[in-house]
Amino acid sequence: MIISGIGIDIYSYISRSVNRFSVARTISKAEQMVAQDRYTEAIALYEKAYAKISSAMNDDKSEILVAKIKNNQGLCLSKRFEKTKDVLDFKQALSLFEEAYAVYKKIKNGELADQTEQNIKILEKMAEV
């Protein structure tokens, strides 16, 4: 699975507003949770960051950051699905990956679209087992 690097996008996002620092901090905490295999906590933090960003989305930079958050939430759900085989985790992960993929295609970012497509294929293979 490929986690989307968010660092540069966070910097660009927060450089436009001091209030956005809390979003960057939330995403950073989420990435720490992912590194510690604490996926449920990471998902909650990504949801918190998404809520803050989506209410103020007005450009491609915000949109790509949201897509990366969705990809990373999908990754967390995929990891959880791998352990539990909970169909709800599979469906949510697939939906999040598909949303991220659609954004990457819309903004013509082939590299991130390809990475997300790879995540979808890995998730689908997990479901076959």
Distance separating alpha carbons of residues 17 and 43, to the nearest angstrom: 24
**Dihedral sign from CA coordinates of 48, 52, 58, 61:** negative
> Above 80 in pLDDT, residue 113?
yes
CA dihedral 99, 74, 1, 46 (to 10 degrees): 110
Is the Cα torsion angle 43, 32, 15, 68 positive or negative in sign? negative
pTM: 0.82
At residue 33, the pLDDT reads 96
* Sequence-separated (6 or more) residues with CB below 8 Å from residue 110: 104
- Give the pLDDT confidence score for residue 7 in this predicted structure: 59
pLDDT at residue 17, rounded to an integer: 56
pLDDT bin (cut points 50, 70, 90) of residue 81 is: very high
Q: What is the mean pLDDT of the segment spanning 108-120?
A: 95
State pLDDT tens for residues 10-56: 555 545 554 567 888 999 999 999 999 999 999 999 999 998 887 66
**Pairwise CA distance, residues 111 & 105, whole Å:** 10
CB 47 within 8 A of CB 70: no
pLDDT at 6: 63
Task: Please tell me the total number of residues recorded for the chain in this structure.
Answer: 129
| C-alpha distance from residue 84 to each of 35, 71, 95, 126 (Å) | 19, 20, 18, 11
